[in-house]
Structure 1
Amino acid sequence: MNLKNSIFLLLIFSFGLVFSQNPKSRADDYFFEYDFENAVLAYETDIADGFLLTPKQRLNLADSYFRTDSFDKASNLYVELFTQDSIMDNLQFNRMLQSLSKSSEDVELKAFIDNQVNGLTKELLENADFNNKMFADAVQNELGFKIFNLSANSEQSDFSATFYKEGVLFTSGRPNPRKKDYQPAGESYLDIYYGEMDELGFLKSAELFSGVEKTEYHKATPYFSEDLGSYFYVLSNTEGGELAFDENGKNSLAIGYEKEGGDFQFLLKDLSTSFYYPYYHKETDRLYFAADFENGYGGTDIYFVYTNKGQVMSAPINLGPRINSPGNEISPYIFENSLYFSSDIFYGIGGMDIYKSNINGDSFSIPVNLGPQINSDEDDFGFIIKNYHEGLLGYFSSNRPGGKGKDDIYGFMVDEKPGFQTFALNGKVVKLSDYSGISEATVRAYDENGQLLQEVVSDVDGNYSLEVPWQNAVRLEATKSKYSIFSLFLNEDKMKSQQQKILNMGIAYYDDLVEEQEGQTVVKLNKFYFDKNQTKITEAIAIELNKVVDAVQRFPAIQLRIETHTDSRGSSTTNFKLSQKRSDNIKKYLVQQGVPESNILYSVGYGEDKILNNCKNGVYCIDFLHKENQRSLIVVLNDNILFE
């Protein structure tokens, strides 16, 4: 693996120039000049000569080990600095984890992460666990497509393709007669090139693109919006035609905007902040990009701004810890409601890997590594894809072995989206009584053997989304305290159809199913009456008793007592026998409908023993007053301990 030609090239080597301030040793000079091999030698010489390195210099040495693939030395020094509460930032924390993943057994990395779990975001841990399971268990789409290197690639860096009319625009550091060489990279300042595409996705040629304003410095990572007829791209900050630096000597990148045949304007510019990889999403009128703001989650994070047809209308909004990590996230691209981006987070295959996250409103599913068909042991980034003829055409960039230059653009044609197969689902958890959303409900997915695959919690409006490695079958559950359990089993065929749809999970609130009557908790039923002197369950009675069946199905632990009462008309003995027979018939009906007998502890007939009004023996009452005493109650006996 050769990380020094990947992340380094993308985020610093190709883009930004920082002049070191008052270096204390030649080793510092090498480090700030990005000559990491000589920096290692110089720092090690200082140590051998008895010089005490400062914590910052020791961190520089760890970074230099990392840049030169000395992962054993890097991990040892990073961990030592980390345990000493050093000045390590989030990006260097990710490099430490990357070094551990490449130099130690998985169990050692897991043990280290487990020890630091309280300092890591919940999303990072979930993302890592999910992707590790994907590699261990998931089915990958065996699409059988061939990835091809473009003949238009050069010996220099070629990357970041974007679809443009009959071909693609891309970035290159190849020799350019109108530009100086960028010394840290040893190649020309980056510029935008155009290649015309043939029917198979190959580029017929590559020529300098003249459709945007000229600059002597970096101009790179274009995105063309056909809807706006406009170009978005990054370029070096300049003043008066010369590079502009902040007070720390940093030259950063800005995002520019240019309509076809129109004037250029800056959209996002800050001398201390670099912006990378603009992508305009027409459906939401958002401009996505990567940036190295100080308050991000790691190195570069992915952000967006709201626009009015490309004109910035808001402050940058971070996509949050589900997408951004302690590492670097770059090159956002949206296709068919999925966000594709690249990250060098520690649990990937190589340096930079390409991930896919499904979009659900303003939230994102766990980013899933596209797997070894696209990703390699090296850096893979700048993924784009579109519908093409009967299938899909896409491009990405990589510095994998066998290429022509430092970074090459690779193409592919395929019938289906590449990557691991997953089962993705979203919808709402709703209350059955009024279909309102239920917040903080727990949604779980199990495999066919009952093993928990994923657990998520619904948001304030009841929305949930989950994604698990593809299975032969899944069982879905949703519940919350004092609510019933929603359960659904899906075989593989039903999984394929269901994940194209919204799945709302209805659960019942216990308090909606019960009420207080006569000092006890009973199942909430409309009052029903047996025919005079009859014990038969009529259709009207069955409608109400079915609510009891439903309640037991939703709350299987409830224990019931059936009690039936008559009025005072007739003899007390006859009334007792009548009420007992009615209770027994209610029990018989419930059992026939699937209520376990073990849930019905008692069926009791009280006759006329518990008259509710003054209509007792010998007292004249009109019929509706007598009817007040005719009642059947389904009492919940364990209400007070049901949810302990």
Structure 2
Amino acid sequence: MQAYKKGVRHFDAGEYNLALPQFEKAAKGSIDAARLNYYTAESYRLSNRFGEAAPFYQKALEANTTEPETRFNYAYALKSQGNYTAALEQLQQFVANAPKTTAKPVVDKAKREIETLKAINAIAANKLEITLRNMSNLNSPNSEFAPVIRGDELIFTASRKETQYKNNGQPMLGLYKTKLNARPDETGTTAAPEPFSTNVFQGDVNEGTPAFSKDGKAIVFARGNNGKRKGGLDVDLYISRLGEGGWSQPQRLPISDSLAWDGSPAFSGDGRTLYFASNRAGGAGGIDLYRTSIDASGRFSRPVNMGRDINTPGDEMFPYVGPNAKLYFASDGHPGLGKLDVFVATRSQGVTRVENMGQPINSPADDFGLIYVKPTEGYLASNRPGGKGDDDIYFFQEGTGTSTDTTTIAQNPPGSTGTNAPKVVRYFLAGTVSVNDSPVLPLDSAKVRVIDDATGQPIAEIVTDQTGSFGKYPLQEGKDYTILAERKGFLTRREQFTMQGKSIPQVFLTKAQTDTTFYVPLLLDKSVLNKTFVLENIYYDLDKYNIRADAAPELDKIVVILKDNPTLKLELSSHTDVRAPDAYNMKLSQNRAKSAVDYIVSQGISADRLVAKGYGETRLVVKNAKTEEEHQRNRRTEIKILEL
């Protein structure tokens, strides 16, 4: 029992490599098998050892674990082993039995992965004439990845520092460099790697994923995650510049989010855009790709999410802009062979296409960090079997290579599965308008307009029938739309609908033409004096009243309601739980309500249409709250209609 408790303490601290031997000791005792095997599996997964996690997930399931995402994670562990059939079975069971409380991005990712696994043979049929060679004199039993070229040097990330990272038991990551030979496909590098710069080297944190400006005189990289903060939320982007005295002390970039993990930077070809990966609030789910512009004086603009065509409910990382201006990146959310696959994105006439790079670039393992150094040559990282250790750097060459390390495979263009012509998909929109009440009833005679956001012109104007239905109307890939519903006696409702991320990948299509219709339900609220609505997801940090980034989108919805209903006047109220003195709670709730109103006014709404009111703990929803969930129900934000 003591070993188990020690293991759990290490696990909770994110020290998974220290937790594993304790769980191994505990296995000899009488600890509940479901809990013990689940913790062991999670320790392997969270230290990026998916294959080793698989048998422990299986044992946890056999012991009837109640952890809801066990099958979901087990499926990805099986996929990393190339066991696609078993992975599909686990995901189908997960989706069929997922509790209603399961996060939507997790369910969405599982559903998309089911389609991927059903089409895995078509994905595997995409094979390129490429040879890979392990950079054996560069790699070690630990991790080497994220290679970039600067002049005649290869700079990369490697696990070689003296301090051990308690997450996976390897040395901490740092930046290293080595001279390149003229023929890296034959003999690799000429000298033993050495630290990139003593100034860009902090021994007690992880540092990696370098990116160089166009002139090579600035480096942006990720730094943080010393293991003391679970999840690595202290990982930020840093910049160092080359001067007469060498590389400067790194400075944290202001585009970093202190509440998120930020990494994998990459410059565009002209050096005016920086791409990076982040799990900050407001993304598509998991880690997303972002971009920021750099002006003439070196200032970075506010980061912009790359959109749902690129980002998925999974992870997107390691962006790279090739000489052909195409965006290459790694993802576990797009249809792929392994945990991370390499993809290439191209944009034409407003439509973004994402294609899997195919075999042998991709495998059931993690494949990522691809760069080109010549039109047909480059490097990437992979933890596929046959390497020297964990992540290894590989040299690849397209065309008629004859490397003995890999088999040359017949060529098809990326994204194709042979000589078949591209299949056509026609997209349509339909929906219903109903009363947002209990029970939900269809609403006839509601006027609905579907507006093309690019032109501001409606593509459809209809009145709903007795069933409250409307549609269907043709949509175009890559476009954004607004659906506006209005009816006398109800608040006007506006819903945004985007085609970004909704295109069906070619590999999923089986017919020459496929029709697919998206159904949008619109719920209209009765415009009744003193009617109160609870706002979801308006949270504040403990004892704080500033508007957090994740609350802003919810308040933006109130802005839209006020703009669409110009005669409306609202009270915006804040409520607390009972776990502080009455007077303190009253003042805190008033400040929170006022900050929410101030935010809405800053978006162009007249202040005389809003009243801020703090009620403290005087209007509890759950009178004798005991659980954290019950306290959260009391800590709510509401709006009430004061004037129609």
**Residues of 2 paired with 1:275 and 1:480: CA distance?**
34
Aligned-residue offset at 1:173: 2.3
1:205-216 matched pairs, under 5 angstroms: 205-208=191-194, 210=196, 213-216=199-202
The answer on 1:340 being equivalent to 2:328 is yes
Whole-angstrom distance in 2 between the partners of 1:317 and 1:23: 46
- 1:73 shift after superposition: 3.9
* Residue type of the alignment partner of 2:362: N
Measure how far apart 1:382 and its partner are: 1.0
Residue 148 (structure 1) aligns with: 133
Q: Does 1:137 align with 2:125?
A: no
Mapped to 2, the partners of 1:308 and 1:340 lie a distance apart of 24
Q: Which of 188, 199, 224 does residue 212 from structure 2 map onto? A: 224
Residue 460 (1) aligns with residue 444 (2): no
Residue number among 299, 317, 327 corresponding to 1:330 in the alignment: 317
Q: Give the corresponding residue for 1:277.
A: 264
Matching residue's letter, 1:373: P
Aligned to 1:399: 383
SS in 1 for 2:389: coil
Q: Hey, what's the Cα distance between the residues in 1 that align with 2:427 and 2:508?
A: 22
SS across alignment from 1:173: strand
Task: Give 2:89's match in structure 1, choosing from 71, 94, 108.
Answer: 108
2:214 maps to 1:234: no
Q: 1:411 to 1:23 in 2, by over 3 A?
A: same
Letter in 1 for 2:42: D
Contact 2:165 2:227 in 1 (8 A): no
Partner of 1:373: 360
Q: Is the partner of 1:25 in helix, strand or coil?
A: helix
CA distance in 2, matches of 1:227, 1:466: 40
1:479 and 1:49 mapped to 2: Cα distance? 51
CA RMSD of aligned residues (A): 5.0
Distance in 2, matches of 1:79 and 1:337, equals 50
Aligned mates of 2:355, 2:8 — CA distance in 1: 38
In structure 1, the partner of 2:636 is none
The verdict on how the C-alpha distance between 1:154 and 1:51 changes in structure 2, with shifts beyond 3 A counting, is closer
Q: What are the superposed Cα offsets for residues 393-451 of structure 1, whole Å, 9 maximum, x if unpaired? A: 121111222222322100111148974427599999999xx99896995479xxxxxxx
CA gap of 1:113–1:271, structure 2 versus 1, over 3 A, is same
Q: Is the contact between residue 255 and residue 269 of structure 1 (CA under 8 Å) also seen in structure 2?
A: yes
Residues 116, 357 of structure 1: alpha-carbon distance in 2 compared, 3 angstrom cutoff: farther
Answer yes or no: is the 8 Å Cα contact 1:273–1:291 preserved in 2: yes
Structure 2 partner of 1:355: 343
| Structure 2 CA distance for aligned equivalents of residues 466 and 103 of structure 1 | 21
CA offsets per residue over residues 368-398 of structure 1, 9 Å max, x none? 4333311223222111125x2xx41121111
Partner of 2:251: 265
Q: Hey, what's the Cα distance between the residues in 1 that align with 2:58 and 2:355?
A: 26
For 2:176 and 2:6, the matched residues in 1 are separated by 36
Structure 1 residue 149: Cα displacement? 1.2
- Contact 1:344/1:351, CA 8 A, preserved across alignment: yes
Give yes or no for contact 1:93–1:326 (8 Å, CA) kept in 2: no
Structure 1 length-normalised TM: 0.53
- Residue 173 in structure 1 maps to residue 168 in structure 2: no
The question of 1:254 aligning with 2:236 is answered: yes
CA distance in 2, matches of 1:224, 1:424: 40
Q: Aligned pair in 2 of structure 1 residues 473, 190: CA closer, same or farther (>3 Å)?
A: same
**Could you say what secondary structure the match of 1:260 adopts?**
strand
Q: Does the 8 Å contact 2:95/2:110 carry over to 1?
A: no
Match of 1:69 in 2: 52
Structure 2: distance between partners of 1:329 and 1:151 = 28
Tell which structure's C-alpha radius of gyration is larger. Answer: 1
Measure, in 2, the Cα distance between the counterparts of 1:379 and 1:310.
Answer: 38
Q: TM-score, normalised by structure 2?
A: 0.53
Shift of 1:250: 6.3
Partners of 1:337 and 1:427 in 2: how far apart?
29
Render the CA deviation track for 1:439-470: whole Å, top value 9, x for unaligned: 995479xxxxxxxxxxx685439989675249
3-state secondary structure, aligned to 1:64? helix
Report the CA distance between 1:269 and its aligned residue: 4.6
Give the Cα–Cα distance (whole angstroms) in 2 for the partners of residues 338 and 63 of structure 1: 36
Partner of 2:600: none
1:307·1:313 contact (CA, 8 Å) conserved in 2?
yes
Does 1:97 pair with 2:75? yes
Whole-Å separation in 1 of the counterparts to 2:97 and 2:175 = 43
Q: Which amino acid aligns with 2:201?
A: T
Question: What is the letter of the counterpart of residue 460 of structure 1?
Answer: Y
Residue 148 of structure 2 aligns with which residue?
162
The whole-number CA distance in structure 2 between the counterparts of 1:103 and 1:134 is 10
> How far apart are the structure 1 equivalents of 2:513 and 2:357?
25
Number of corresponding residues: 425
Task: Output one character per residue of 1:39-76: Cα deviation in whole Å (capped at 9) or x when no partner.
Answer: 54255456x256996xxx88534413654624254157
Contact 1:385/1:394 (<8 A) preserved: yes
Matched-pair contact (CA < 8 Å) for 1:222–1:232? yes
Q: Amino acid of the residue matched to residue 89 of structure 2?
A: E
Deviation string, structure 1 residues 205-256 (Cα, Å, up to 9, x no partner): 343254673323233211112257421112237xxxxx7966x796832211
Task: Tell me the residue number matched to 1:588.
Answer: none
Conserved? CA contact 1:159–1:408, under 8 Å: yes
Letter in 2 for 1:302: L
Q: What is the SS of the residue equivalent to 2:390?
A: coil
SS of the residue aligned with 1:112?
Answer: helix
Distance in 2, matches of 1:199 and 1:427, equals: 49
- Which residue is equivalent to 2:534? none
Q: Report the Cα distance in structure 2 between the residues aligned to 1:79 and 1:103, rounded to whole angstroms.
A: 20
**Structure 1 residues 50, 209: CA separation in 2 closer, same or farther (over 3 Å shift)?**
closer
CA distance 1:463–1:278, shift in 2 (3 Å): same
SS of the equivalent of 2:89 reads: helix
CA distance in 2, matches of 1:215, 1:254: 15
Partner SS for 1:97: helix
Q: Could you tell me which residue of structure 2 aligns to residue 421 of structure 1?
A: 416
User: Residues 104 and 480 from structure 1, CA distance in 2 versus in 1: closer, same or farther, beyond 3 angstroms?
Assistant: closer
Q: In the alignment, which residue of structure 2 is the partner of 1:38? A: 21
| Distance in 2, Cα, partners of 1:472 & 1:128 | 17
In 1, Cα distance between the equivalents of 2:304 and 2:118? 30
State the 1:144 CA deviation.
2.8
Asked if residue 25 in structure 1 is aligned to residue 5 in structure 2, the reply is yes
Match of 1:610 in 2: none
What amino acid does structure 1 have at the position aligned with 2:506? Answer: V
Q: Hey, what's the Cα distance between the residues in 1 that align with 2:196 and 2:347?
A: 35
CA distance in structure 2 between the partners assigned to 1:417 and 1:425 by the alignment: 20
Q: Which amino acid aligns with 1:352?
A: L
Match of 1:579 in 2: none
* 1:529-554 residue CA offsets vs partner (Å, 9 max, x unmatched): xxxxxxxxxxxxxxxxxxxxxxxxxx
Quick check: 2:238–2:251 contact (8 Å CA) kept in 1? yes
1:442–1:480 contact (8 Å) kept in structure 2: no
| Alpha-carbon contact 2:268-2:275 (below 8 Å) kept | yes
* Stretches of structure 2 lacking an aligned partner (at least 5 in a row): 400-410, 429-450, 461-471, 483-497, 520-644
Which amino acid counterpart does residue 112 of structure 1 have in structure 2?
Q
Identity of aligned residues (%): 22
